[in-house]
């Protein structure tokens, strides 16, 4: 499942906001608490704890990283691994295209998709719109 949105801000601004997960609750209602569990800049193996309404608290671990461009983090539950992708693409006009995605794999993936697809779609669309508003608001997003 994917969603994309164009943000009228440079990729560096969007990347900074995306990696500052402690501030996610300020721009999206889909995260009520978030923190990195490991010190230092984002890297492969970096872990974060997120609390989300209706989904509870989970630990995510960065599994892929293209600095200033994209990261994928995963969480494992019995029977399913969920991967969340965050990708930035520079647009010719200086804007940034943000693409967010969620994929499930494993024996229970079909059931998880069946139970959560509508909520997941609503959450990633809300997150994309929230990050857009945050980054386009110069006093807070810049």
- Write down the pLDDT at residue 139: 56
Q: What is the pLDDT of residues 58-102, one digit of tens each?
A: 999 999 999 999 999 999 999 999 999 999 999 989 999 999 999
Diameter of the chain measured on Cα atoms: 46
- Report which of 40, 41, 66, 62 is spatially closest to residue 50, judged by C-alpha positions: 62
Which CATH number covers residue 115? Answer: 3.30.530.20
The band of 137, judged by pLDDT with boundaries at 50, 70 and 90, is confident
- Report which of 141, 139, 113 is spatially closest to residue 12, judged by C-alpha positions: 141
State the total domains in the chain: 1
The band of 138, judged by pLDDT with boundaries at 50, 70 and 90, is low
pLDDT of 112 over the 90 cut: yes
- Write down the pLDDT at residue 141: 47
Write down the residue that tokens 């923190």 correspond to. 35
User: What residue numbers bound the domain in which 40 lies?
Assistant: 2-141
Q: What is the pLDDT of residues 2-60, one digit of tens each?
A: 999 999 999 999 999 999 999 999 999 999 999 999 999 999 999 999 999 999 999 99
Judging by DSSP bridges, how do beta strands 47-52 and 56-66 pair with one another? antiparallel
């Amino acid at each position: 499942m994917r969603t994309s949105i164009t943000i009228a801000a440079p990729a560096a601004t969007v990347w900074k906001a995306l990696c500052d997960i402690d501030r996610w609750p300020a721009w999206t209602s889909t995260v009520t608490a978030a923190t990195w569990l490991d010190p230092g800049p984002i890297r492969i193996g970096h872990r974060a704890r997120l609390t989300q309404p209706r989904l509870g608290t989970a630990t995510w671990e960065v599994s892929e990283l293209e600095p200033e461009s994209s990261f994928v983090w995963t969480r494992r539950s019995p029977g399913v691994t969920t991967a969340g992708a965050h990708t930035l693409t520079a647009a010719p006009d200086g804007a940034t295209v943000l693409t967010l995605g969620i994929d499930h794999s494993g024996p229970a993936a079909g059931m998880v998709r069946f139970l959560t697809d509508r909520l997941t779609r609503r959450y990633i669309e809300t997150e994309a719109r929230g990050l857009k508003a945050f980054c386009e608001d110069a006093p807070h997003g810049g």
